[in-house]
Amino acid sequence: MNVKLFIFVVIVLAQLAVLYAADTPVQKPNILVILADDLGYADVGFNGCRDIPTPNLDQLARQGVRCTSGYVTHPFCSPTRAGLLTGLYQQRFGHENNPAWLPQSTVAGLPLSQTTLPQVLKRAGYVTGCVGKWHLGAHPQFHPNRRGFDEYFGLLGGGHVYTPGARGSVEYQIPMDRNGRPEPLAEYLTTVLGREGSSFITRHKGEPWFLYLAFNAPHTPLQVADPLMGRVKHITDQTRRGYAGLIVGLDDAVGVVMDALKESGQVDNTLVFFLSDNGGPIGVTHSDNTPLRGAKGDVFEGGIRVPFVVSWPGRLPQRKDYAQPVISLDVFASAVALAGANVPAGHTLEGKNIVPYLAGEQTGIPHGRLFWRAGGGAKFAVREGDWKLVGWENSRTQLFNLAADVGESKDLAAARPEVLARLSQAYADWDKDNVAPLFESPQASRPKAVKKAPAK
């Protein structure tokens, strides 16, 4: 081949390569959100737990980024889920309490006016699935299939018995729901949810998908299958032992799901978020939020800072800690950015795409300030850098420096009045755009102390 012909062939091949690249769409990542329920900050191995084995969650943390200042938008259940699935502070639309199990109520649930993450991702070509705990309204209009999910299997209420035939309230004994049809619980619940999540992942290989896998473990009741209890028999505290058994079951189920990703060759193209919906209720399950102050229901760190991992081996570094504050609102913003999805006009997301920050591609911090409000303002908090403002009804507003005092034990309000004034004004400005709660939490949803673990 002469030189001129060789050069001509090289040019043609280069042009064809450019054209092929332009016509070949970038593969959209799968998005998997795994949500635990009432998991203590220190009750996973990757956050220092020593008495409860969590090998699968620890492996997930090793293959991704551990967000050591990872938050949720509320210190208890349903409001957090509303914020996660809308990408907005749920106080903006009045979802500030847990909805009662009221199938006749068109008010007690995630307002229909709000756009959800699965609705946005569906329009971007994603298959959307929800497995597990819903707790965003019992009326049919609130059903997951009507809020953007192509497929649903799980428990529609705020909790459920774990073992078939176990006793519980009406809400805890309703059948499982599969796309609007009742289905009896035939096996240990956490095992079932892990298998359903695995099935969704395997069935939709080859197409972009979003799976919201919301476990009810380790929320009460402390009903644990015998093999699981055998793996935590070294724990002498009976209540904590039951709670630990629920976590071991959760970890096993996460392992099944991650195995499905691996076996189907989807690990490198799947962005995984793992977090809890709030901090551990230490007086109820003897969970551990060390070194944080407070528990579920509090706007101290123990109620809102949670185990938080982001993994995407194809894009993010492994075995990395990220210390800057991130929040569950970032799930929505990250997902739509990576999916190339369009958010409806007027739905102004309050989270950030944190993937570039975690990947080290973007400097700075994702959030200048984060806010919390519970009980219509009875409790509130603001975090700005290392500073944390905490207030509640009938008590003096307090100020903490989390870098020096993560346990929030030293009130610096008197020593730093200028910071107190700045954060107090910031909260007042943020709160102007909030509305009053649309419904009240049921009495039964309030945590009650457990003297001993229920019988297995």
CB atoms within 10 A of CB 41: 28
What is the three-class DSSP state of 328?
A: coil
DSSP 212-257: EEE--TTSSP----HHHHHTTTT---HHHHHHHHHHHHHHHHHHHH
Nearest to 285 by CA among 253, 233, 246, 231: 246
Q: How far apart are the first and last CA of the chain?
A: 80
In angstroms, the Cα distances linking 80 to 2, 6, 160, 304, 318 are 69, 63, 19, 10, 27
One-letter amino acid identity for 58? D
User: What is the distance between the alpha carbons of residues 353 and 358, in angstroms, rounded to a whole number?
Assistant: 10
Say which residues have a Cβ less than 8 Å from residue 363's Cβ, sequence separation at least 6: none
Ramachandran assignment for 376, one of left (phi > 0), alpha (psi -120 to 50 degrees), beta (any other): left
User: What is the distance between the alpha carbons of residues 72 and 306, in angstroms, rounded to a whole number?
Assistant: 7
Say which residues have a Cβ less than 8 Å from residue 66's Cβ, sequence separation at least 6: 46, 47, 308, 309, 320, 321, 322
Catalytically annotated residues: 77, 135
Whole-number CA gyration radius for the chain: 23
| Residue located via tokens 């509090």 | 298
What's 356's DSSP letter? H
What's 146's DSSP letter? G
| Residue located via tokens 């809102």 | 304
